[in-house]
A = this chain, B = another copy of it.
């Protein structure tokens, strides 16, 4: 079944394997007249590129994007955008070990059971490289949002147990450390933690937070396509994400109604909320406040420590996953979470356009 498409109007369809000829995405439903060039997309892709710090794999890939369709004289034409990134680092090597063993924490076993066999080269379709298509699409979605004054921003909230508390967030520090954390001091401690794990052939996870400002009120479609529900799908569909929460999230479950409800108030004719425990959604629709979500990322599954497992013949075995692996994928996943959020918002902005006869008449009369 076709699970490679996301979105209803702004629809993205990703394809590609880690060690095949390339990776890409087709975006159908992008409105015509949006200024777009390859650099706009490359800027996003560069944020997820490997080899940018000592905490990421040194796999050497330029990940250059080519626009194959949908743009004419610098503007989108309304027809599908096809974006291609060629895989460069396809050096032939011995996958024999990986080919015959199911790596713990990986999709090897269920893929083999589902399809009868699997592309064992570097994880195939389950590789982190799959996110290239998401990020390329996110770049395009972000341009639409930008034209409407909407800003999406993701960063690392926590690396393992090292978390930036809400009061200590400094946006200007995000790009100043290897972890994209809004606090250099916490990032430094996180760095020491990750280094010690690397020495121990181990790995860790973390939490990514993403916000969106400038959203109109009313985005999201009741009942199943609520803003928060689609964001939940979008974010949990990223490999290694094991949980998502909106606003206070799980903490809200321990609060009381009188504390958790955000009171409305009006000032100079503008309706706002005095607090934002809700994280920007009410009844699944955007409420005009900042959208806030957090994604829990599990520790990297590929570790060099010896683990117990089973081979494809069903016999017990041991495995040591060698090769180039990030000790923590959180920093590189930041732009993926931001991209999936942007794609979801762009789609819901387009969906919302048809919500009332007033809108319909604005376009047609």
Contact = CB atoms under 8 A, between A and B. Distances in A.
Given A3-B226, A106-B283, A257 B357 contact: no
B287 A110 contact: yes
A230 to B, nearest CB: 6
Interface string A274-306: 100011001111111000000011111111010
A29, A261, A305: residue with the most chain B Cβ atoms closer than 10 Å: A261
A355 interface: yes
A126 B283 contact: yes
Interface in A117-131: 117-119, 121, 124-126, 130
A323 interface: no
A171 interface: no
A269 interface: yes
A308 B20 contact: no
Contacts of A228: 236, 242
A14 interface: yes
A250 B255 contact: no
Nearest to A278: B105
Copies of this protein in the assembly total 4
A242 B245 contact: yes
Contact of A269 (B78, B314, B359, B364): B314
A182 interface: no
B355 A31 contact: yes
A233 B79 CA distance: 19
A165 interface: no
A265 to B, nearest CB: 6
Given A5-B224, A105-B261, A232 B207 contact: no
10 contacts: A3-B221, A104-B264, A125-B223, A203-B256, A203-B258, A205-B255, A229-B232, A232-B233, A266-B314, A353-B354
